[in-house]
Structure 1
Amino acid sequence: MQALILEQSEGKTLANVRQIQADALPQGEVTIDIAWSGLNYKDALAITGKGKIIRQFPMVPGIDFAGTVHHSEDPRFHAGQSVLLTGWGVGENHWGGLAEQARVKGDWLVPMPQGLDARKAMIIGTAGLTAMLCVMALEEGGITPESGEVLVTGASGGVGSTAVSLLNALGYKVAAVSGRESTHDYLRALGASEILPRSAFSADARPLEKQRWAGAIDTVGDKVLASVLAQMNYGGVVAACGLAGGVNLPTSVMPFILRNVRLQGVDSVNTPVERRIIAWERLTRTLPESFYQQATREISLTEAAENAAKLLNNAITGRTLVKIG
C-alpha cells in the first residue's frame, strides 16, 4: 500500500510517498480502505515541520478520511460498510488518512450518514465538522437569524467557507473577513452579504468598539479575535476554533462583563461520538449541493507535500481534497 511517510532527520521533517506493508499499520479494531482524505491546516504544519504536531516518527499524517471497512473486529462495523473519521489524534500520534489504508479504534469511526458519500464527506471533512460545531455553539447561545449579523473570520479557509455556507443556508446574514481580494466572488457565491478586509481587524483593539455583530465564528485568534470581541452586540456569542493568527488573546474582561458577551471554545478533535453524529446529519441536510462544487479542489497523494506549503502560505482557497483510492 502507498502512504505519505513523515520522518525526521537532523531536526528536519522529510515527507515521502512510499510503499509499505499493511502489517506495519498500528493497532486497532477496524481496518479501512481509504477512498478520500483531506489536506488540513494541521496536516500542513505536520508535513512541513513548521508546527510541533508530530512527536513520534515515522508518522502518516492526515487527520481525516473516508472509505470502506476492509476488516473489523468491532461488532458495530462490518466489511464493506462506508465510514468516516475526523480527529482523535489520528494523523498526529496515530497513523492517519494520507495512505491507502488505516487501522483505527472503532470508537473513532462514524457510520457514513445517509445521503453522503466518501468524496462529499471529505469535502466537508474536519473543517466542515468544526464549522457545524461552531454554528451549534451560536445556536445554543441563543443566536438566531433574527438576532443580527454574524461575522466569520478566515472566511476563505476550510472552516470559514463552510461556516459561511451553513449560516447562509440557515437564514443568517453573514459578513466574511478575508485577507485576499481574489476570494470575494467565491465568498459571495457561498452566501456572504458583506466582505471585510482582514486589515480592519488586525490592529490593536480598544476594549470596546461600536457594537456590530450578534454572533461570530473565529478561526484566527490573537488580535483578530480581540477586535471581534470588542465589536460584539450585547449578549453576543463568539465561537472560537482556530489560531491561524496566533495563540494570544490581547483583550480585557470588558466585553464579557459590560456587554454580556460569551466566548465559546470549539474543539472537534475529542467531540463525543453522539454530538458528531448530530453534526454530520445536520451538515448533510443543510449544505446546498452547490457547496460541493464551489469549495473544493482535488489533488493526488503525491501532491500533498507541495500543497501543504501552499496552504500555509495562504495560497489555497476552500477545501483541498486528496484522492487516495
Structure 2
Amino acid sequence: MSEQFKAFWITETEPKKYSREVVERGIDDLPAGDLLVRVRYSSLNFKDALSSVGNKGVTRKFPHTPGIDAAGEVVSCADGRFQPGDQVLVTGHDLGMNTAGGFGQYIRVPSSWALPLPAGLTLAESMILGTAGLTAGLSVQALVGAGVVADAGDILVTGATGGVGSLAVAILAAAGYRVVASTGKQSEHDFLKSLGAAEVISREAVTENCERPMLSERWAGAVDCVGGTTLAAVLKATCAGGSVACCGLVGSPDLPINVFPFILRGVSLFGIDSAECDDQRRARVWTNLAGEWRPARLGELSREVGLDGLGAEIDKMLKGESHGRVLVNLDL
C-alpha cells in the first residue's frame, strides 16, 4: 500500500451532479511524471471552482482533484532537473484540469511544468500570487512591451476585486502607474484603494454610452478581466496608441465591437494565456513579481483556508461574492 495523503475530491454521483469531500489517496494513484512534489500551499482560482461543479470545458473526467496552482518541496525527480528538498511552484499547463492538482498534498507532474521558487518569495506568498498573479503579470508585461509607460495616463483594471483584477491593481501600483479600478461592489472601494488604486469607479461608469461607435479617449491602457460589453467599451475609450490586455470572461466570452478603435486610434488588444505561455516569459514575470512588481502588503491580499474550508470559498466564488485571493494551506 502506497503512502496516503489528503486530497479534495470531486465525484460525479449521477449525470450532471457532483459531490465534494476530503478523502485519502495513495501516492501510487497519481499520474505518471518525472517530478513528485509535497504540496504545502495552493490557491483557489475560477477554473478550480468550475472544475468542482463538473464543467467539462475545464475537466473532462471525474473523480478528480482540482487545483491549478501548487507550491512545495521536491520529493523525487527522475530526470535530475530538481533535487529532493528543492522548493518549486507549478502553475498552469494541465495541473488541476485533467491532471490531479494542488488541492492534494502530493502532485506528480512532468518536471518541465515546475519552476524554482523565485528568490524573495515564500511558498505561501508564491501561492497568494499563483496563476492570478502570473496572469496579471503577463498583462502588465504586455502593456509595458507595447510602450505604455507609467506617466502615459490612467490605466484601467476591470473586474478589480477578483483574483486577477486585485493583483493587477497592486502590481500596476507597485510599478508606478496611476490605476483606476472598476467594480460593481460599492463595499470594496476601500479594499481597492488599499491595494494602490488612485480611483475606484463603477462598472456602469465604464460601459456608459457603450452603444456608440467610439467613446472619448480616457485610458492609456487597461487590464480587462470581464470581457463582453465591458471590454468593447474599454477599447472604444482607449487613447490613441494605447493597449488593452484581455485576460478574463466573467462578463461574457463575446466581444461586440467594431474596428474603429483599431484603425482610427491604433489601439492594440493583447490576449493573455497564462496556462501555456513559454517558459522564458513565465520565468521573467515571476522574477518581476518577486522583485519590482511585488505588490505592497502582499500578505493582506488573501485569506487562508484548509481543504475542509474550500467548499464554502468555492460557493462564494461561483456566486460572485469572493474578493482577493484564497490561500489553501495543505497542512491545516
TM-score (norm 1): 0.97
* 8 Å CA contact retained: 1:151, 1:175: yes
Distance 2:90 2:252 in 1: 27
Match of 1:221 in 2: 227
1:2 aligns with 2:6: yes
Q: Which amino acid aligns with 2:7?
A: A
1:231 aligns with 2:237: yes
1:94-109 to 2 correspondences below 5 Å: 94-109=99-114
Number of aligned positions between the proteins:
325
Q: Which secondary structure does the structure 2 equivalent of 1:147 belong to?
A: coil
1:52 aligns with 2:57: yes
Deviation at 1:88, TM superposition (A): 0.2
Distance 2:146 2:211 in 1: 24
Aligned with residue 84 of structure 2, among 79, 84, 90? 79
1:255 aligns with 2:271: no
Distance 1:309 1:48 in 2: 10
1:286 aligns with 2:296: no
1:201-236: CA deviation from partner (whole Å, max 9, x where unpaired): 346432200100000000100011011011000011
* 8 Å CA contact retained: 1:205, 1:226: no
* 8 Å CA contact retained: 2:180, 2:197: yes
1:125-274 to 2 correspondences below 5 Å: 125-202=130-207, 204-274=210-280
Aligned with residue 20 of structure 2, among 15, 32, 39? 15
Deviation at 1:147, TM superposition (A): 1.3
1:88-99 to 2 correspondences below 5 Å: 88-99=93-104
* 8 Å CA contact retained: 2:135, 2:164: yes
Q: Which secondary structure does the structure 1 equivalent of 2:151 belong to?
A: helix
Distance 2:91 2:112 in 1: 11
1:93-127: CA deviation from partner (whole Å, max 9, x where unpaired): 11110001000000100001111111000011100
1:219-269: CA deviation from partner (whole Å, max 9, x where unpaired): 100011011011000011000011111100001111100110000001100
Distance 2:297 2:248 in 1: 22
Deviation at 1:316, TM superposition (A): 1.5
Deviation at 1:7, TM superposition (A): 1.7
Distance 1:274 1:310 in 2: 35
* 8 Å CA contact retained: 1:151, 1:213: yes
Deviation at 1:74, TM superposition (A): 2.1
1:285-307: CA deviation from partner (whole Å, max 9, x where unpaired): 02456432321111111111221
Q: Which amino acid aligns with 1:85?
A: V
Distance 1:114 1:51 in 2: 37
Distance 2:218 2:254 in 1: 23
Distance 2:41 2:299 in 1: 16
Greater Cα shift, 311-320 or 261-270: 311-320
* 8 Å CA contact retained: 2:128, 2:299: no
* 8 Å CA contact retained: 1:169, 1:288: yes
Match of 2:125 in 1: 120
Aligned with residue 26 of structure 1, among 6, 27, 31? 31
* 8 Å CA contact retained: 1:32, 1:102: yes
Q: Which secondary structure does the structure 2 equivalent of 1:76 belong to?
A: coil
Q: Which amino acid aligns with 1:139?
A: V
* 8 Å CA contact retained: 2:76, 2:84: yes
1:61-93: CA deviation from partner (whole Å, max 9, x where unpaired): 000010000111021101000000100021111
Deviation at 1:280, TM superposition (A): 0.5
Q: Which amino acid aligns with 1:6?
A: I
Report percent identity of matched pairs: 42
Q: Which amino acid aligns with 2:266?
A: N
Moved over 4 A (4+): none
Distance 2:296 2:139 in 1: 21
Structure 2 unmatched ranges of 5 or more? none
* 8 Å CA contact retained: 1:201, 1:223: no
Q: Which amino acid aligns with 1:314?
A: G
Q: Which amino acid aligns with 1:130?
A: T
Match of 1:302 in 2: 308
Distance 2:68 2:297 in 1: 22
Structure 1 unmatched ranges of 5 or more? none
